[in-house]
Chain A
Amino acid sequence: MNIEVINLNKKFKDFQLKNINIKVPKGKIVGLIGENGAGKTTLIKCILGAMFKNSGEVKLFDKRYNDSNKDDIGVVFDDSYMIETFTIKDINLIMKNTYKRWDSKLFFKYVKEYNLPTNKEIKRLSTGMKKKLEIITALSHHPKVLILDEPTSGLDPVIRSEILDIFQNFVDNKENSILLSTHITSDLEHIADDVIFISKGEIVFDKPLKEVKDNYIVLDVDKDEIDSINKKDIIRIKENRIDYQVLIEKKNMKKQYEKYIKNITALDDIMLLYIRGV
């Protein structure tokens, strides 16, 4: 197991992470989804040691978390965090003096591949270029795990697709893995093996993506026909202006429900119904 979080608790005045248990196996991309403020970033910061946990344990590569095994982790955060008066050459200089396995050749190979200017200050780069720089910086010390917090937010679909390709290539060796936190669930539908849904500091489900998509069905039911749905079958229901959105398990699917089936059940729908439905 590359990352294992066991019974992690973190309390704030107005929020807490409760008994979080997650596993990120070798060769897998694990998506962490949830609404803003659900606790995704807090969980990531607890894993990285930027925040202290109140109780629980974080294991990296089956060993108790310590500072030296962070050499095997690459990190990308949501917000930009590189000092913008620096250049790409400066970043290389800092990182090669920070990580034991920093690979300048690989770094500049990526820089060339993604057409990033080496002498320009980072503040002169576009949002997409900055994000690519952050990702290649995370990759250039040959990490075994990438921990990514909203790495594709604010990017256009073309750049997002390029970045998702990088992530897929990263896990191709079956040894590396990625913990990817995002609220752009459509990104996960293309690349994630497992999905962890976290809401209000608690894990709602932790399942293989295929199982999530195969097990749940979202029905769009007209208001006057809602009685045709057996209440026992409903996991979550959300009232809209003209209809109800109803989440049911596939095993509870009945013939009379077929006409209400949405064409594609997206992770977004499932997440929305869990958060806003009753």
Chain B
Amino acid sequence: MKGLIIKDLLFIKSTWKFLIIMFIGSLLISVALGNYLLAICVLPVMLLSSGINTFQTDEFYNTDSYILSFPLSRKKIVLSKYIFTLIVLLVSTYIGLMLYFFIYLIIHPGFNGLNTDMIKQLLMLEFSAVFVNSVFYPVIYKFGCEKSRLVLLSIVMLLLGIVSIASVYINTQNVNLDFEFIVNTIQTYGVYVLGVFVSICLVISYFLSILFYKRKDY
């Protein structure tokens, strides 16, 4: 199992040039906008989204059927992907914090202390990326990378549809929403709620992935 985690980490390593280019690009945009959230978050979020890329790479190089010749159960193969995701979550949080200190120490040498809102926003973005992974993984195990794009597009369209209907309902029914309260609540508790929600999603996603992968022919 350790070998598979290393394989996926090595894959991320092999994309370092692309990651650096993305970071420099986002840093330039951040400097222009005067808001450094993008520069701080782009690398962590890109790292987390590479979990999905590892599936695509395995499929592209036919590595997925080769992996099944390894002395590992299918359950452990699935587990390796989830452990990899958690490792990347930890590493990307660390990188995000380092970038935060680095950027603010250079731009505001006098700055002393953490901007908790920024840290919360970083974590919320990361949790969102993990959530996307937890949706993607079982779908990929079930349908493969090619078909899963269509399935996920359908899910996104469905969610957009629900949001659109909800917003139309709110407008037509003149529902009075206290947006300031909502924003404040999200800023205060959002990261914790999202953290718990994503953890639950990840566990459900893991069991669904095992269920699908145990039945799949390669």
A90, CB-defined interface residue at 8 Å: yes
Which residue on B lies nearest to A90, using beta carbons? B10
In the assembly, what is the distance between CA of A58 and CA of B33, in Å?
Answer: 63
In the assembly, what is the distance between CA of A48 and CA of B66, in Å?
Answer: 9
B115, CB-defined interface residue at 8 Å: no
Which of B68-76, B144-152, B165-173, B192-200 faces chain A? B68-76
Which residues of chain B have C-beta atoms less than 8 A from A56's C-beta?
none
Q: Mark A88-119, 1 if CB is under 8 A from B, else 0.
A: 00100111111110000000000000000000
A79 x B71 contact (CB < 8 A): no
What's the nearest-Cβ distance from chain A to residue B211, in Å?
14
What does DSSP make chain A's interface, helix, strand, loop or mixed? loop
Which residues of chain A have C-beta atoms less than 8 A from B71's C-beta?
67-71, 98-100
Which of B38-46, B57-65, B86-94, B104-112 faces chain A? B57-65
Which residues of chain A have C-beta atoms less than 8 A from B65's C-beta?
45, 50, 77, 81
In the assembly, what is the distance between CA of A82 and CA of B73, in Å?
Answer: 20
Determine which of A68, A70, A97 lies in contact with B6 in the assembled complex, contact meaning CB atoms within 8 Å.
A97
Which residue on B lies nearest to A51, using beta carbons? B217
Which residues of chain A have C-beta atoms less than 8 A from B217's C-beta?
45, 50-52
A94 x B69 contact (CB < 8 A): no
Which residue on B lies nearest to A138, using beta carbons? B69
B7 x A45 contact (CB < 8 A): no
A81 x B63 contact (CB < 8 A): yes
Determine which of A51, A80, A94 lies in contact with B3 in the assembled complex, contact meaning CB atoms within 8 Å.
A94
What's the nearest-Cβ distance from chain A to residue B202, in Å?
24
A1, CB-defined interface residue at 8 Å: no
A37, CB-defined interface residue at 8 Å: no
In the assembly, what is the distance between CA of A96 and CA of B70, in Å?
Answer: 12
A48 x B69 contact (CB < 8 A): yes
Which residue on A lies nearest to B7, using beta carbons? A94
Which residues of chain B have C-beta atoms less than 8 A from A68's C-beta?
71
How extensive is the interface on chain A, given as a class?
20 to 34
A173, CB-defined interface residue at 8 Å: no
Most buried by A among B57, B62, B69, B73: B69
Number of interface residues of B (CB under 8 A): 24
Q: Mark B80-98, 1 if CB is under 8 A from A, else 0.
A: 0000000000000000000
Which residue on B lies nearest to A10, using beta carbons? B217
Determine which of B6, B58, B73, B218 lies in contact with A94 in the assembled complex, contact meaning CB atoms within 8 Å.
B6
B4, CB-defined interface residue at 8 Å: yes
Which residue on A lies nearest to B77, using beta carbons? A67
Determine which of B10, B61, B69 lies in contact with A70 in the assembled complex, contact meaning CB atoms within 8 Å.
B69
Which residue on B lies nearest to A86, using beta carbons? B10
In the assembly, what is the distance between CA of A79 and CA of B65, in Å?
Answer: 11
A97 x B3 contact (CB < 8 A): yes
- List B residues 19-42 near A (Cβ within 8 Å): none
Which residues of chain B have C-beta atoms less than 8 A from A45's C-beta?
65, 217-218
Which residues of chain A have C-beta atoms less than 8 A from B55's C-beta?
none
A230, CB-defined interface residue at 8 Å: no
Which residues of chain A have C-beta atoms less than 8 A from B63's C-beta?
81-83
B69 x A50 contact (CB < 8 A): yes
Most buried by B among A48, A68, A82, A94: A94
A73, CB-defined interface residue at 8 Å: yes
A219, CB-defined interface residue at 8 Å: no
Which residues of chain B have C-beta atoms less than 8 A from A82's C-beta?
61, 63, 66
B68 x A49 contact (CB < 8 A): yes
Which residues of chain B have C-beta atoms less than 8 A from A49's C-beta?
68-69
Which residues of chain B have C-beta atoms less than 8 A from A69's C-beta?
71
B218 x A50 contact (CB < 8 A): yes
Known interface pairs A77-B62, A98-B3; A50-B215 also in contact (CB < 8 Å): no
Determine which of A48, A79, A83 lies in contact with B57 in the assembled complex, contact meaning CB atoms within 8 Å.
A83
Known interface pairs A67-B73, A70-B69; A84-B3 also in contact (CB < 8 Å): no
Give 17 new A-B contacts, CB below 8 A, not counting A81-B62, A82-B66, A86-B10: A45-B217, A50-B65, A50-B218, A67-B71, A70-B69, A73-B69, A81-B61, A81-B65, A81-B66, A83-B14, A83-B57, A86-B14, A90-B10, A93-B6, A94-B10, A97-B2, A99-B3
5 contacts between A and B (CB under 8 A): A69-B71, A77-B65, A82-B66, A98-B2, A99-B3
The 10 closest A-B pairs by CB, nearest first: A98-B3, A97-B3, A85-B14, A50-B68, A97-B2, A75-B69, A81-B66, A71-B71, A70-B71, A81-B62
